[in-house]
Amino acid sequence: MQAIMVWGENSGFIPMTCTQKLRSSEHITASDTICPVTEEDIPDGGTRAWLVAFGSSISLVATFGIVNSYGVFQKYYMNTLLSTSSSSTISMIGSVQPFLIYGLGPIVGTFFDAYGTLLLFPLGSCIVVSSLVILSFCQEHQVYQFFLVHGVVFGIGTAMIFNPALTVLGQWFRRKRAFALGIAGAGGSLGGLVLPILLQSLIHRIGFPWAVRVLALTAMVHLVIACLTVRTRIPLKRSTTWRTMIDVQGFRDVQYTLAAVGAFLYFLGFFIPYFYIEVYAIHRGMSEELSAYLPAIVNGFGFIARLVTGVLADKFGVLNLSIPSSFLSGALVLMLWLPARGGTSIVAFSALYGFFSGPFLSLLPAYIASRSPADKFGARLGSIYVGVAFATFTGPVIAGALVPMVTQSNFNKLIVFTGVMLISGGLMLALAHAKTLLEKRRLLPRSTSEDQIHER
């Protein structure tokens, strides 16, 4: 019999003898014994599992919700704190956040596979809250301070929470995995709905420094709850090496590779409307008071979409929803944002773009999970996120270069670039889906990879 380590509710990690399977969502104690975890062992529900989903969602409210609120920061930086800096430089502060969140995916994913959330969540929470407090003391026109604190430090802290918050759900859910990931992803949208309105109101009432300190306190409360509720379930490796941080074996799978390319292209354009829709609305004559609600509208409809598509994806398949949403989000950019000249059309675009683009963030991990062994999911998702990191960093920077001055012709270039990238990402996913369908019809041989997992 094989001795392994499992988490004991009161005793930490306990050496166990492999004699029987994990039971549903019950807590594991020193009297329980388990066998190596398989897909059939995953609870797929229960109080403990749904508490983990809730905690993951709460953690993204306080982290990715702030990332989704960068439009408010960008406008205030451009008009007040960093008014002497270029829009491209200010965009770089916002784009370095998702760059680090996704780029550190392999490192964070490997540490998660080895140590779970007990190390990453508390440390990441401290970094996130501390960075927001320090941000409130940054000096006007000192762009390097904002870049280091709001971009680099905050991005590192968020990376330590974002990746485990999504990955851990693969240990608790199988048939309901897309729905659970949708709940978690909806947390980022909910934060992006509430926090921009809160921040905008607080800036007018108590000033930027104290507004950010209130934001830090709000984040701290959410992250404490997350630290208490999110737990890993399967035995941990308790060790890691640099060689395991990027699992290149996944790229032997053509569908996995096509998903990686599609994610890179999609994320080149994904965040641009979040950063620039408010600036564009003011350029077209919308009042600053009304334009401040546009990021909240985008995130509000994204919140609804992630919950709805999470349920539907478990029933109809992840790609059957992510492909249409990718194409439609790109089409909306080209057919609605490009000709938009008035407030009504801009608000309509914000709502529809949030609804159709929002699901991609949670559907991508669900698809990668369907093609990855459970014990390699963290590393494989992290490998995908390396490409996404470069896309999220370069996309807004390219956008800033396309709009050196706020003119309609410059915005037209930015909008076309955004739409083409979104549609191109959807095309790659469509090719991955087409290959899967061909394999199922026995027109192409299936991959011989030993850890290939059946895809819905």
- Model pLDDT for residues 340-353, shown as the tens digit of each residue: 988 899 999 999 99
For residue 443, how many C-alpha atoms fall within 13 Å in the half-sphere facing its CB?
A: 6
pLDDT of residue 3: 39
Instruction: Give the residue-averaged pLDDT of 414-423.
Output: 95
Cα separations in angstroms, 237 against 14, 69, 216, 218: 13, 36, 34, 34
Task: Reply yes or no on whether the pLDDT at 331 is more than 90.
Answer: yes
Instruction: Give the residue-averaged pLDDT of 98-127.
Output: 85
Q: What DSSP line would sit under 263-315, residue for residue?
A: HHHHHHHHTHHHHHHHHHHHHTT--HHHHTTHHHHHHHHHHHHHHHHHHHHHH
Could you tell me where the DSSP H helices lie in 168-287?
177-206, 208-229, 254-270, 272-283
For residues 373 and 76, give the distance between their C-alpha atoms in angstroms, rounded to a whole number. 45
Task: Reply yes or no on whether the pLDDT at 251 is more than 60.
Answer: yes
Q: Which homologous superfamily is 37-440 in?
A: MFS general substrate transporter like domains (1.20.1250.20)
pLDDT of residue 1: 37
Q: What is the pLDDT of residues 351-362, one digit of tens each?
A: 999 999 877 877
CB atoms within 10 A of CB 142: 12
Closest CA to 109 of 183, 160, 58: 160
Q: Which residue has the higher pLDDT, 267 or 25?
A: 267
Q: Are 366 and 313 in contact (CB under 8 A)?
A: yes
Q: Are 255 and 371 in contact (CB under 8 A)?
A: yes
Task: Reply yes or no on whether the pLDDT at 121 is more than 70.
Answer: yes
Extents of the domains making up the chain: 1-36, 37-440
Structure tokens that stand for 256 in this block: 């996995």
> Which of 103-107, 109-113, 195-199, 416-420 has maximum average pLDDT?
416-420
Closest CA to 360 of 385, 384, 326: 326
pLDDT of residue 443: 55
Instruction: Give the residue-averaged pLDDT of 221-244.
Output: 77
What is the longest distance spanned by two Cα atoms in the chain? 72
pLDDT of residue 12: 37
* Pairing verdict, β 3-8 and 12-17: antiparallel
Q: Are 383 and 106 in contact (CB under 8 A)?
A: yes
Token look-up 């994806």 returns 313
Task: Reply yes or no on whether the pLDDT at 15 is more than 70.
Answer: no
Q: What is the pLDDT of residues 128-183, one digit of tens each?
A: 999 999 999 999 889 899 999 999 999 999 999 988 888 888 788 878 877 888 88
For residue 50, how many C-alpha atoms fall within 13 Å in the half-sphere facing its CB?
A: 3
Give the length of the chain.
456
> Which of 8-22, 234-248, 406-420, 436-450 has maximum average pLDDT?
406-420
In this prediction the pTM is 0.73
Token look-up 């354009």 returns 269
Q: Are 34 and 17 in contact (CB under 8 A)?
A: no
Q: For all residues of the chain together, what is the average pLDDT? A: 81
At residue 14 the predicted structure's pLDDT band, cuts being 50, 70 and 90, is very low
Distance of CA 186 to the CA centre of its chain: 10
* AA letter at 335: M
For residues 357 and 7, give the distance between their C-alpha atoms in angstroms, rounded to a whole number. 38
Task: Reply yes or no on whether the pLDDT at 37 is more than 60.
Answer: no
